[in-house]
Amino acid sequence: MSAQVIGTPGEVPSWSAREEGSRMEKRHRRATSHVSADDRRMGRRQGISFLLGFLLFLGCFGVYFASQTDYVQKSWLYPYPYRETVEHYARTYGVDSSLAAGVIHAESRFKSDAQSHRGAVGLMQLMPDTAEWIAGQVDNDYHCSLAKLQEPDTNIRYGIWYLASLQREFDGNDILALAAYNAGRGNVQEWMTQYGWQQDFNSVESIPYAETREYVTRVLKYQKKYKTLYAPHSEGFLSASVRP
């Protein structure tokens, strides 16, 4: 039995050694190619994600920019239907028409058929019993049918008259008048007594009802928007006395 001869340094590798080396090299190339392919796929995904993010940013910026234009704001965000009617009764009863528009926007978004789950009706969301009381004060008629209350002219007239009466009751304090429009004059009078509020009250955050705080904040915001967007016609309203 012959002894196996082990190769010495410098000796040419046998065929089997060369084959094994070739296989190892191929496996290394395949592994390297897989890593490179994964890197390329990851790079493509990152590139697509960056592009989509950039396009989303441009889209959001474009929407924001478009929403700031007067055309978009007047057409979609702060429309002003029944404007002549609002301005007419605002002049008649001495109310800032921008404030009246803000109330309507907050109450119904100018939808004449709006009706709340509590029973408030129309553009200015008047309760039927309140509307009947107003009808008695304005028209000497203590009956106001639901159909009549849903008429835009009647609803706006009664609502603005009521807002004017609240402003007068609270010495022209819009915050107190708006709080009373939302929560009722009795609640506001009670808060004034309980918390020592004066006629110069201006702390919306102190209003106990969250709904009323948010309501007053919204209306004052809308008032500013309507005054800015429709300033030529909403400024310079005429004061007029309101019958008790």
Positions of the chain with pLDDT lower than 70, given as ranges: 1-40, 43, 51-52, 54-68, 232-244
Contact, 97 vs 80, CB < 8 A?
no
Per residue in 134-173, pLDDT tens? Answer: 999 999 887 888 899 999 999 999 999 999 999 999 999 9
Count of CB atoms situated within 10 Å of the CB of 110: 18
Reference 104, options 78, 135, 84; nearest CA is: 78
Annotate 148-205 with DSSP letters as a single string.
HHTSHHHHHHHHHHHHHHHHHHTTT-HHHHHHHHHH-HHHHHHHHHHHT--TT---GG
What's residue 244's pLDDT? Answer: 38
Catalytic residue among 11, 87, 107, 169: 107
Count of CB atoms situated within 10 Å of the CB of 32: 10
Token pair belonging to 114: 């709006």
Asked about 107 being catalytic, the answer comes back as yes
What's residue 32's pLDDT? Answer: 58
What's residue 242's pLDDT? Answer: 43
